[in-house]
Amino acid sequence: MIKKMKERHSIWIRIFHWTNMIAIIMLILTGFYIHAPQSFKLFSSMDTARTIHFAMAYVLTFGVIGRVYYAIVAKDAKNIVYRPIEDTKKLPSMLKYYLFLADDHPYYGKYNPGQKGMYTAWLVMAILMIITGFILYKPHLFLGLSGLLGGFLVVRIIHYAINWLFVITIMVHVYLDIAEGIPILKSMFTGKIPEDFHHGYHEES
Amino acid sequence: MSTKLSRREFLKMCAGSAAAISLAGYLAPFMKEAVAAGAPPVIWIQGASCTGCSVSLLNTVHPDIKEVLTKVISLTYHPNISAAAGDLAIKEAIYKVAETNPKNFFLVVEGAVPMGADGLYCTVGEEGHEPLVFKKLLTDIGSKAKAILNFGTCSAYGGVPATDPNPTDCKPVSAVVKNVPLVNVPGCPPHPDWMVGTIAHVLLYGDIPELDAFGRPKMFFEKIVHDNCQRRQYFDNAIFAKTFGEMGCMLELGCKGPFAHCDAMNRMWNQGNNWCVGCGGVCIGCTEPQFPGWPMYERLPEMPVGPATAVTADQIGIVLGAATALGIAGHLAGNVLTGRIGPKKADKSKEGEA
């Protein structure tokens, strides 16, 4: 039996998702090597690691610009941007579901408030990473900016701390994605999801 | 004022690799001419400092420091080497020169400005049996200067005296004197060439050199130590020193080279003999505004998280990462137990359909 499918992710969303994913994973791996080359021996030399790191930094920068542009033009922003009042109101029912206090959760739209919060935070984190990263990459070009943030050492700490936030949130993202169902994972490759896939119950109106 | 040295040539001289020649020696004849033609006087005063910047300046051996001070720089007063003392120094050499040359003399400040206890932590003289504090001296004559040259990190950014806990409440000159152009020549101490070169620029051309965002002359502070380091190849090849004295890049030992700005690696100290990394030490970033508020021999500082508790970024990351892994494992167990994933799921969805 062939299941009826409907589109969940457009081709552009999938392209940006996977380019940004590759960029972020490579940035994290090379970043850990650059941070601790003695204990994180994944690359042959600093040259290799740094070349990949800076190249991927550009991929991510333009990936973020492209994704934001797409979100605005395709009116996709309403799906992913966390709205402080409306989405916070929806949080309790979602938390109850994830903490096994409820068997099901209401239908939230394309993404639940937790996902929206995480994706919005990722945008903020990515922008902070790009800014602090370029300050460290070209110290003499962004001298004034580094002063505003409290000096290069503070910039370094911000850059490193947000990296850990990325590591943790990506772990959560991948886990929840798989735990909620393989079709969701598949949809990021094919763009399609079964029409009858359960996204929470619709509240009686 | 006529000068034979064009500004372009001057900048080239100052910014170029000066290891082989003495900047002061090269500039001396031009400076002598300018001073003879009536260049503005220079007054040098010291606040909360260790006199290290002055000692560094005295290290200019060619030409002889006597010649530099009396003929090359029209220095009217310097607290360590001027013969004048007491009222003669304060009234004649400092106040009178400042008053007779309003907006036409350059003030060199060495050391931070202690603001605590109304400035009493730094008394530089006597004024009618009352102590003359450095804060008052600086505000009195600083506002009359054409420009203030901050020699050393202390006067430029606060430096050692202004570092936490800062009991004397030391402040950089920029926090005390407003509306006067400032040139920061940081360093702990600054290289003699940076000081002589900056004084030469203001005396020869009558204005301040081009500055970067932290107020430092670009001709000396545009380079990044790390990009011009003699041990750079070690970094690129990932050969890192684990202890001092070992070959390799000293990043893991706390080198601040990747974000420190100066040209010491080309110019070198002690008449071009050696420099910080050349003698096996790390760059401690002494020309940066945050110096010395960081651990000199550690890569990343510990962060205070509570009373008498400090952790590294790595420790925070590992704890948070472990907590996340535990959370995920717990949730996974919950998912399996409640049948959200696993064999029971199929039955459940059938139930839903039925």
What ipTM was assigned to the predicted interfaces of this complex? 0.71
Share of chain A above pLDDT 90, in %: 30
Q: Is residue B181 part of a domain?
A: yes
Residues B40, B169: one domain?
A: yes
Residues B28, B93: one domain?
A: yes
Confidence band, pLDDT 50/70/90 cuts, at residue B353: very low
Q: What is the Cα–Cα distance from A177 to B43, expressed in whole angstroms?
A: 70
**Residue B18: per-residue pLDDT:** 53
In sequence order, which residues have a C-beta less than 8 Å from that of residue A38 and are 6 or more positions away?
B240, B242, B252
Domain end position, chosen among B186, B201, B221: B221
Closest CA to A49 of A57, A119, B313, A161: A57
Cβ–Cβ below 8 Å for A198 and B352: yes
Residues B113, B31: one domain?
A: yes
Q: Is residue A204 part of a domain?
A: no
Closest CA to B41 of B145, B182, B135: B145
Q: Determine the average pLDDT of the residues in A59-71.
A: 91
**Residue B308: per-residue pLDDT:** 64
More confidently predicted of A183 and A16:
A16
| Residue of B261, B328, B334 with shortest CB distance to A175 | B328
Q: Determine the average pLDDT of the residues in B23-31.
A: 74
Confidence band, pLDDT 50/70/90 cuts, at residue B182: very high
CATH code of B264's domain: 4.10.480.10
Cβ–Cβ below 8 Å for A156 and B300: yes
Residues B222/B15, Cβ–Cβ less than 8 Å? yes
Residues on chain A bordering chain B, Cβ-to-Cβ distance under 8 angstroms = 37-38, 43-47, 49, 98, 100, 103, 136, 139-140, 143-144, 146-147, 150-154, 156-157, 160-161, 164, 167-168, 171-172, 175, 179, 198
> Does position B347 have pLDDT exceeding 90, yes or no?
no
**Residue A19: per-residue pLDDT:** 93
Nearest chain A residue to B255 by CA distance is A153
Q: What is the Cα–Cα distance from B154 to B46, expressed in whole angstroms?
A: 10
Which domain does B259 fall in, by range? 223-301
Cβ–Cβ below 8 Å for B288 and A171: no
Domain end position, chosen among B301, B328, B349: B301
Q: What is the Cα–Cα distance from A13 to A8, expressed in whole angstroms?
A: 10
CA quadruple B35, B36, B37, B42: dihedral sign: positive
Confidence band, pLDDT 50/70/90 cuts, at residue B332: confident
> Does position B300 have pLDDT exceeding 80, yes or no?
no
Burial category of B129 from C-beta neighbours within 10 Å (exposed 0-12, middle 13-18, buried 19 and up): exposed
Contacts B301 to A, Cβ<8 Å: 153, 157
Read off the pLDDT of residues A107-124 as tens digits, 9 standing for 90 and up: 888 888 888 899 999 999
- Specify which of A149-163, B89-103, B332-346 reaches the highest per-range mean pLDDT: A149-163
| Residue of B224, B236, B338 with shortest CB distance to A140 | B224
Residues B50, B147: one domain?
A: yes
Q: Is residue A205 part of a domain?
A: no
Q: In DSSP terms, which residues pair with B151 in a beta bridge? A: B110, B185
B2-6, B139-143, B212-216: which has the minimum mean pLDDT? B2-6
**Residue B286: per-residue pLDDT:** 92
Q: What is the Cα–Cα distance from B346 to B354, expressed in whole angstroms?
A: 13
Q: Is residue A133 part of a domain?
A: yes
Domain end position, chosen among B221, B240, B271: B221
CATH code of B88's domain: 3.40.50.700
In sequence order, which residues have a C-beta less than 8 Å from that of residue A200 and are 6 or more positions away?
A104, A105, A106, A107, A108, A112
Read off the pLDDT of residues B39-67 as tens digits, 9 standing for 90 and up: 788 888 899 999 999 888 887 766 667 77
CA quadruple B296, B301, B304, B309: dihedral sign: negative
Tell me the pLDDT of chain B averaged across its residues. Answer: 82
Q: Is residue A131 part of a domain?
A: yes
Confidence band, pLDDT 50/70/90 cuts, at residue B350: very low
Residues 234-293 of B with CB under 8 A from A: 235-238, 240, 242, 252, 256, 258-259, 261, 288-290
Residues B39, B167: one domain?
A: yes
Structural domain count of chain A:
1
Q: Is residue B345 part of a domain?
A: no
A89-93, A143-147, B73-77, B299-303: which has the minimum mean pLDDT? B299-303
In sequence order, which residues have a C-beta less than 8 Å from that of residue B90 and are 6 or more positions away?
B124, B125, B126, B127, B132
B83-92, B140-149, B186-195, B208-217: which has the minimum mean pLDDT? B83-92
Q: Phi and psi at residue B97, in whole multiples of 5°? A: -65, -40
Q: Is residue A151 part of a domain?
A: yes
More confidently predicted of A152 and B345:
A152
Task: Spell out a b/e string for B157-173, using b for 16 or more CB atoms within 10 Å of the CB, else e.
Answer: bbbbbbbeebebebbbb
Tell me the pLDDT of chain A averaged across its residues. Answer: 86
| Residue of B213, B236, B289 with shortest CB distance to A46 | B236
How many beta carbons lie within 10 A of that of residue B91, not counting itself? 13
Confidence band, pLDDT 50/70/90 cuts, at residue B349: very low
Q: Is residue A19 part of a domain?
A: yes
Confidence band, pLDDT 50/70/90 cuts, at residue A177: confident
B8 touches chain A (CB under 8 A): no
More confidently predicted of B16 and B348:
B16
| Residue of B214, B325, B332 with shortest CB distance to A147 | B214
From B134's Cα to the closest Cα of chain A, the distance in A is 28
Read off the pLDDT of residues B274-285 as tens digits, 9 standing for 90 and up: 899 999 999 999
Residues B265, B323: one domain?
A: no
Residues B19, B131: one domain?
A: yes
> Does position A189 have pLDDT exceeding 70, yes or no?
yes
A23: left (phi over 0), alpha (psi -120 to 50) or beta: alpha
Structural domain count of chain B:
3
Q: Determine the average pLDDT of the residues in B283-312.
A: 78
**Residue B63: per-residue pLDDT:** 65
More confidently predicted of B243 and A184:
B243
Q: Determine the average pLDDT of the residues in B224-232.
A: 90
Share of chain A above pLDDT 70, in %: 98
Residues A67/A74, Cβ–Cβ less than 8 Å? no
At position B130, the amino acid (one-letter code) is E
At position B232, the amino acid (one-letter code) is R
CATH code of A59's domain: 1.20.950.20
- Cα A64 versus chain centre, distance: 10
Confidence band, pLDDT 50/70/90 cuts, at residue B342: low
Residues B198, B232: one domain?
A: no
Which domain does A180 fall in, by range? 5-194
Distances (CA, A) of A178 to A40, A78, A187: 28, 24, 12
Q: Determine the average pLDDT of the residues in A3-27.
A: 89
Cβ–Cβ below 8 Å for A140 and B290: no
**Residue B185: per-residue pLDDT:** 94
More confidently predicted of B326 and B353:
B326
Q: Is residue A202 part of a domain?
A: no
Three-class SS of chain B: CCCCCCHHHHHHHHHCCCCCCCHHHHHHHHHHHHHHCCCCCEEEEECECCCHHHHHHHCCCCCCHHHHHHHHCCEEECCCCCCCCHHHHHHHHHHHHHHHCCCCCEEEEECEEECHHHHCCCEEEEECCEEEEHHHHHHHHHCCCCEEEEECHHHHHCCCCCCCCCCCCEECHHHCCCCCCEEEECCCCCCHHHHHHHHHHHHHHCCCCCECCCCCEHHHHCCECHHHCCCHHHHHCCCECCCCCCCCECHHHCCCHHHCECCHHHHCHHHHCECCCCCCCCCCCCCCCCCCCCCCCCCCCCEEEECCEEECHHHHHHHHHHHHHHHHHHHHHHHHHCCCCCCHHHHHHHHHHC
Cβ–Cβ below 8 Å for A153 and B349: no
Cβ–Cβ below 8 Å for B213 and A45: no
| Residue of A37, A144, A168 with shortest CB distance to B324 | A168
Residues B264, B324: one domain?
A: no
Cβ–Cβ below 8 Å for B294 and A172: no
B7-21, B41-55, B232-246: which has the minimum mean pLDDT? B7-21
> Does position B153 have pLDDT exceeding 90, yes or no?
yes
Interface probe with A: pick from B324, B326, B344, B351, most Cβ of A within 10 Å = B324
From B279's Cα to the closest Cα of chain A, the distance in A is 23
Q: What is the Cα–Cα distance from A125 to A31, expressed in whole angstroms?
A: 15
Read off the pLDDT of residues B114-144 as tens digits, 9 standing for 90 and up: 998 888 888 888 887 888 899 988 998 888 8
Q: Is residue B351 part of a domain?
A: no
Q: Is residue B243 part of a domain?
A: yes
Share of chain B above pLDDT 70, in %: 88
> Does position B19 have pLDDT exceeding 50, yes or no?
no
Burial category of B51 from C-beta neighbours within 10 Å (exposed 0-12, middle 13-18, buried 19 and up): middle
| Residue of B258, B332, B349 with shortest CB distance to A179 | B332
Cβ–Cβ below 8 Å for B338 and A175: no
Q: Is residue A201 part of a domain?
A: no
Q: Is residue B293 part of a domain?
A: yes
**Residue B1: per-residue pLDDT:** 43
Residues B213, B296: one domain?
A: no
| Residue of A46, A140, A172 with shortest CB distance to B328 | A172
> Does position B217 have pLDDT exceeding 80, yes or no?
yes
Residues B143, B194: one domain?
A: yes
**Residue B22: per-residue pLDDT:** 67
Residues B233, B87: one domain?
A: no
Q: Determine the average pLDDT of the residues in A1-22.
A: 85
